[in-house]
Amino acid sequence: MFERDGFLYARVADICDVAGMSHGSFYTYFVSKEEIFREVVDSVELNLLTVDPAPADVDPVERIRAANRHYLQTYATNNKIINVINQVATIDLEVRATRLQRQEEFARVIDRRTRLLQEQNLADPAIDPAYAAQALGGMVANFADFLFNSSTTFDFETAVDQLTLIWTNALGIRPGPAAGKATPDV
């Protein structure tokens, strides 16, 4: 309902009809449409930012590629509701806080991975991992919005490859013992 009608026009009655439940059942689980929407936000945000763990010996470039592919695929699948979430985040402080919290959690993961790569001498030690985490995470998020909400003709796989190349170049990832499959130009 939120995708079809938007947040402002979605009604509890319509949500109940689509879900095949009575109003009474709805209110057993949720106090309002705002509460159910926040659950949707939490679920979508977790799906976007939760990448399956990779084995420790996975090439860092391939790990980054898998994360970029996951983000873009999940964004494409959830594009309509993400657009609604983006709109609601401008007027609902709880939704905005949830989004910021998830982004911060994801940035901490990127920060830790970058530090690990630096410790392994696979990434440029001059890069500040906290700044890189915010910039690179923002790059992928903004590119996904552009890719799926504009008239662009960019190819999905090329987008994954280019985001990965930009990310690895930004961190100065160099081939090393754990980066056996890294390409020479990365």
**Which CATH architecture is the domain 38-171 placed in?**
Orthogonal Bundle (1.10)
Tens place of pLDDT per residue across the chain (186 aa):
899 998 989 999 998 998 888 888 888 888 989 999 999 988 898 888 888 877 777 889 999 999 999 999 999 999 999 999 999 999 999 999 988 988 898 899 999 999 999 999 999 999 999 999 999 999 999 999 999 999 989 999 999 999 999 999 999 996 544 444 434 333
Asked if 10 and 33 count as a contact pair (C-beta separation under 8 A), the reply is yes
Counts for the chain of helices (H) and strands (E), in that order: 9, 0
Four-CA torsion 104, 105, 111, 113, nearest 10 degrees:
-160
Question: In which residue are the tokens 């998830």 written?
Answer: 102
Longest CA pairwise span in the chain (Å): 62
Q: Enumerate the domain spans of the chain.
A: 1-30, 38-171
